[in-house]
């Protein structure tokens, strides 16, 4: 189907806590911002799941007649990046570009084709300085403790994204400083000399803080509005809450982002998989061991909003489905039987419903079983399904 006037796509929106009908700001173009990697190490399975999810989303959106413009910010202004550079006695730019290249290679290995723009945050420092200056001029930001902070009292709806009241927000002491107007105010520029690196600015030598980094990258590339903000669920607060508050200051809209879409965590023995905990499994190693097709089937077997407790046995269990898909690929016909045509459309309808990939895979497996038993599926329909899932035969 290519006429998006007749398609109802619903996505769970963290802002509304509902499955909302998806309607982009522009009729046929979907602008997607994905919180990208911090460039000091390789891509682990938790990261891979995020980008596989949005690749599936964008492939499906294109199947339904939309164009997509996907922007990923590349975080190279970060203490971990500079620590890595110091440990390796290298310039931080060299370290960041090395891991950026490895990230791009990992996306390619996983057949993630939807990302069309990468933005290094260090390329946007002068724009961040300009945006912060604008907030200071409007009395929305202020100086304290030698730093610059956003006065979140200027945003009456601050906390709506993470569903927190002002009393609950006050329990979080962010960017602690004795002279802040409120302890939950958001840091915009940090003038501490503890980092070992800095940029000169009218606020003093320092670094733009991480929330402002993403805000500026999105603003400079997408303008005042875009359609989907994606990332891991753990970023909901404070990072995405802060990003929304800042973005609203530069937009005439109370809701400049249509959809806030969050992916569940990948756990290892019940704990979040993270570099800091040392329990990561690198996506490139898994892709090399099992192939990207099997890894995709494993990831898509769980709904994107649910957590996954990583288990290689479950990857191996997906081999049966992949074998059925491979056999089906050798049995395609010119035309799809009417019974299977209904199932093909049910496959895409499942993805219309908040990207319900487990249900879609169940339907696809049913299709494959029927084809192996003697039913007919047209080559074009089979390829449509494989293309959306990113399966390469």
| Beta pairing, strands 271-272 & 308-309 | unpaired
The pLDDT of residue 247 is above 60: yes
Using 50, 70 and 90 to split pLDDT, how confident is the model at 112? very high
Residue spans of alpha helices (H) in the chain: 45-63, 79-87, 92-109, 125-137, 166-169, 210-222, 241-249, 283-290, 292-300, 312-317, 319-329, 338-352, 357-372, 379-389
Who contacts 130 (Cβ-Cβ below 8 Å, separation ≥6)? none
| pLDDT, averaged across the chain | 93
Q: Average pLDDT for residues 45-54, to the nearest whole number?
A: 96
What is d(CA 72, CA 100) in angstroms, rounded to the nearest whole number?
Answer: 11
DSSP assignment string, 329-344: HTS-BSS--HHHHHHH
The pLDDT of residue 304 is above 70: yes
Using 50, 70 and 90 to split pLDDT, how confident is the model at 54? very high
Tell me the pLDDT tens digit for each residue of 150-173: 999 999 899 999 998 888 877 776
Using 50, 70 and 90 to split pLDDT, how confident is the model at 245? very high
The pLDDT of residue 2 is above 60: no
The pLDDT of residue 72 is above 60: yes
Phi, psi of 370 (to 5 degrees): -70, -35
Of 254 and 142, which is predicted with more confidence? 142
pLDDT-above-70 percentage for the chain: 98
The pLDDT of residue 5 is above 80: no
Q: Which residue has the tokens 């995709």?
A: 296
What is d(CA 198, CA 167) in angstroms, rounded to the nearest whole number?
Answer: 35
Using 50, 70 and 90 to split pLDDT, how confident is the model at 6? low
Cα dihedral: 304, 307, 313, 316 (round 10): 10
Least confident of 10-24, 164-178, 226-240, 378-392: 164-178
The pLDDT of residue 325 is above 90: yes
- Residue 58 has, within 13 A of its CA and on its CB side, a CA count of 27
């Amino acid at each position: 189907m290519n006429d998006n006037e007749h398609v109802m796509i619903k996505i769970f929106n963290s802002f509304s806590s509902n499955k909302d009908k998806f309607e982009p700001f522009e009729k046929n173009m979907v602008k997607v911002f994905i919180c990208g990697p911090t460039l000091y190490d390789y891509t682990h399975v938790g990261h891979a799941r995020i980008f596989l999810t949005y690749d599936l989303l964008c492939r499906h959106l294109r199947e339904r007649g939309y164009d997509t413009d996907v922007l990923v910010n590349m975080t190279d202004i970060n203490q971990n990046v500079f620590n890595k550079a110091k440990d390796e006695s290298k310039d931080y730019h060299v370290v960041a570009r090395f891991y950026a290249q490895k990230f791009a290679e990992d996306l390619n290995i996983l057949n993630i084709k939807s990302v069309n723009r990468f933005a290094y945050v260090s390329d946007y420092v002068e724009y961040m300085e300009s945006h912060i200056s604008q907030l200071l001029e409007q009395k929305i930001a202020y100086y304290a403790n030698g730093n610059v902070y956003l006065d979140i009292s200027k945003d009456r709806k601050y906390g709506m994204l993470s569903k927190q009241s002002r009393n609950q927000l006050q329990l979080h002491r962010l960017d602690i400083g004795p002279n802040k107007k409120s302890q939950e105010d958001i840091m915009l520029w940090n003038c501490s000399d503890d980092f070992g690196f800095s940029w000169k600015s009218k606020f003093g030598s320092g670094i733009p803080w991480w929330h402002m980094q993403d805000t500026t990258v999105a603003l400079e590339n997408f303008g005042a509005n875009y359609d989907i903000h994606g990332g891991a669920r753990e970023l909901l607060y404070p990072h995405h809450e802060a990003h929304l508050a800042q973005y609203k200051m530069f937009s005439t809209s109370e809701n400049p982002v249509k959809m806030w879409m969050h992916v569940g965590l990948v756990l290892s023995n019940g704990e979040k998989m993270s570099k800091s905990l040392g329990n990561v499994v690198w996506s490139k190693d898994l892709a090399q061991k099992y192939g990207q097709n099997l890894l995709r089937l494993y990831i898509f077997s769980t709904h994107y909003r649910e957590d996954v407790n990583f288990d290689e046995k479950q990857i191996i269990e997906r081999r049966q489905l992949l074998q059925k898909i491979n056999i089906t690929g050798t049995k395609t016909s010119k035309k799809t039987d009417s019974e299977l045509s209904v199932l093909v459309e049910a496959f895409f309808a499942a993805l219309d419903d908040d990207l319900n990939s487990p249900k879609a895979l169940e339907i696809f497996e049913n299709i494959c079983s029927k084809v192996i038993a003697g039913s007919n599926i047209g080559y074009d329909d089979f390829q449509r399904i494989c293309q959306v899932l990113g399966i390469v035969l």
